[in-house]
């Protein structure tokens, strides 16, 4: 739609789409509203829409993913997590432990994130663990501790929904629902996330191509949830100097093809504490919308991912140095 299009114009286009028996996706933007059409069995003639009031252009999307593509929406999408914009001018910093372990641990983490200048708190209450004997998370008790940490610090909460079964509960407490790498192609979970009314952070699968990643996001948007943040967290390669290989070239590749914001997780991306700070800098330099970083008040005693978790002081250094990088590349970043 044009920047001048009224809500009545948008509504008229929506009604026309629905009259044809298709689904209309109204995706708002800062300047212009984009309207996607799904459910059409074949091609629709753009001329059907071209002359309606307020329509700037009607185009056929050539990509297999539709709603996530830049063809449908040219402007960057900015996803707001409890008022914190992700995908705008400033880099968003999310820090916290891999797992919520206790009330004290998550409160201490939250204070450290806030003190460092971070805006969002991460921490899993339901953990996808390689071994069934490893710590699986505190469940609802962990979600309550996260809510307490939010209450005290005002930080928005990012936490994982592991399956459809616990999704409702996670949605109730979270400000942003994480879908983990191992679940990137869990299609029933993606469909459930499409019905959520909270933002979703979708992590790239361990061996997912860019197209598979974007198609997974398409599941969520096609369900009517347009608040999706993509997250690069490393892919599996032959390299053994790191746990995964952080694929930073996916950042500009996503930005070319999609309007969705992409953030980077250098913690799982490298799996080694000493590599997190340099790769965080590189991620911001490459244009990441934000960072997801594991930080623990006492990493050596962590119940999961301690070897890649930063000490609070190191997290503060990441925020400070990445803010400086953001300034250099002309992002509107306050210096921390």
Binding site for ligand PEP (CB under 6 A): 98, 124, 128, 180-182, 203, 233, 268
Q: How far is the CB of 113 from Mn ion (least distance, A)?
A: 15
The minimum distance between CB 291 and ligand PEP, in angstroms, equals 12
Task: State which residue has the least CB distance to Mn ion.
Answer: 98
Draw the binding track, 292-321, toward Mn ion (x: CB under 5 A; -: no contact): -------------x----------------
Rounded CA gap, 55 and 34, in Å?
Answer: 10
* 259 in Cβ contact with 273 (< 8 Å): no
Instruction: State whether the Cα torsion 195-198-311-316 is positive or negative.
Output: positive
Measured CA to CA, the distance from residue 327 to residue 197 in angstroms comes to 33
Q: By C-beta, is 124 or 194 nearer to ligand PEP?
A: 124
As a whole number of angstroms, the distance between CA 192 and CA 282 comes to 34
| Residue among 36 and 234 whose Cβ is closer to ligand PEP | 234
DSSP state letters, 197-215: SS-EEEEPPTT--HHHHHH
Rg (CA), the chain: 20
8 A C-beta contact, residue 120 and residue 81: yes
Bridge partners of 97, per DSSP, are none
Question: Is there a contact between 150 and 175 (Cβ–Cβ < 8 Å)?
Answer: yes
Using the minimum distance from each CB to ligand PEP, give the nearer residue, 35 or 217: 217
**Number of residues counted as binding Mn ion (CB under 5 A):** 2
Cβ distance to Mn ion smaller for residue 218 or 305 = 305
Q: Where are the beta strands (DSSP E) in 144-284?
A: 156-160, 176-179, 200-203, 228-232, 262-264
Q: Which does 297 bind (CB under 5 to 8 A by kind): ligand PEP, Mn ion, none?
A: none
Q: Which does 263 bind (CB under 5 to 8 A by kind): Mn ion, ligand PEP, none?
A: none
- Nearest approach, Cβ of 98 to ligand PEP (angstroms)? 5
**Distance in angstroms (rounded) separating the CA atoms of residues 286 and 41:** 39
Pairing mode, strands 156-160 and 120-122: parallel
* Cross-strand bridge partners of residue 110: none
Structure tokens at 334: 């306050």
| Residue closer to ligand PEP (CB basis): 59 or 134 | 134
Interaction partner, residue 243 (Mn ion, ligand PEP, none; CB < 5-8 Å by kind): none
**CB under 5 to 8 A by kind: which of ligand PEP, Mn ion, none does 128 bind?**
ligand PEP
Residue whose CB is less far from Mn ion, 98 or 149? 98
Give residue 123's region: left, alpha or beta (phi > 0; psi -120 to 50): left
Q: Which does 139 bind (CB under 5 to 8 A by kind): Mn ion, ligand PEP, none?
A: none
Cα separation of 324 and 336, whole Å? Answer: 8
User: Which of 159, 222 has the CB closer to Mn ion?
Assistant: 159
Which of ligand PEP, Mn ion, none lies near 150, with the C-beta cut-off 5 to 8 A by kind? Answer: none
Shortest distance, CB of residue 115 to Mn ion, whole angstroms? Answer: 22
CA–chain centroid gap for 335, Å, is: 24
The listed partner (ligand PEP, Mn ion, none) that binds 137, CB under 5 to 8 Å by sort, is none
User: Which x/- pattern, by CB under 5 A, does the window 90-129 give for Mn ion?
Assistant: --------x-------------------------------
Residue number, 27 or 196, with CB nearest to ligand PEP: 196
Q: Which does 181 bind (CB under 5 to 8 A by kind): ligand PEP, Mn ion, none?
A: ligand PEP
* Region of residue 30 (left: phi > 0; alpha: psi -120 to 50; beta: else): alpha
Query: Does 265 interact with Mn ion (rule: CB under 5 A)?
Result: no
């Amino acid at each position: 739609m044009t920047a001048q299009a009224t809500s009545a114009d948008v509504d008229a286009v929506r009604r026309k789409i629905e009259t044809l028996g298709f689904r209309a996706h109204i995706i708002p933007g800062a300047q212009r509203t984009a309207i996607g059409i799904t459910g059409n069995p074949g091609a629709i003639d753009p001329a059907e829409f071209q002359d309606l009031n307020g329509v700037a252009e009607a185009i056929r999307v050539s990509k297999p993913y539709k709603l996530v593509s830049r063809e449908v929406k040219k402007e960057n999408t900015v996803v707001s997590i409890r008022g914190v914009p992700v995908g705008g001018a400033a880099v968003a910093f999310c820090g916290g432990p891999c797992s919520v372990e206790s009330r004290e641990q998550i409160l201490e983490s939250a204070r450290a994130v806030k003190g460092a200048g971070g805006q969002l708190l991460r921490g899993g209450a339901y953990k996808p663990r390689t071994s069934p004997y490893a710590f699986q998370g505190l469940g609802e008790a962990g979600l309550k501790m996260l809510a307490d940490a939010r209450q005290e610090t005002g930080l928005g909460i990012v936490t994982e929904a592991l399956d459809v079964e616990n999704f409702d509960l996670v949605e109730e407490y979270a400000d942003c629902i994480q879908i983990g790498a191992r679940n990137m192609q869990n299609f029933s979970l993606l469909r459930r996330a499409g019905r959520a009314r909270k933002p979703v952070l979708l992590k790239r699968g361990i061996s997912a191509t860019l197209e598979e990643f974007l198609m997974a996001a398409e599941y969520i948007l096609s369900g009517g949830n347009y608040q999706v943040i993509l997250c690069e967290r490393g892919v599996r390669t032959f390299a053994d100097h790191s746990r995964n290989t952080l694929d930073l070239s996916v950042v500009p590749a996503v930005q070319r093809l999609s309007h969705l914001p992409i953030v980077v997780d250098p913690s799982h991306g490298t799996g080694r504490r000493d590599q997190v700070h340099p790769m965080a800098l590189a991620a911001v330099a490459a244009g990441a919308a934000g960072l997801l970083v594991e930080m623990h008040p006492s990493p050596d005693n962590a119940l999961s991912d301690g070897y890649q978790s930063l000490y609070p002081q190191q997290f503060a250094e990441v925020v400070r140095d990445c803010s400086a990088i953001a300034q250099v590349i002309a992002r509107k970043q306050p210096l921390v």
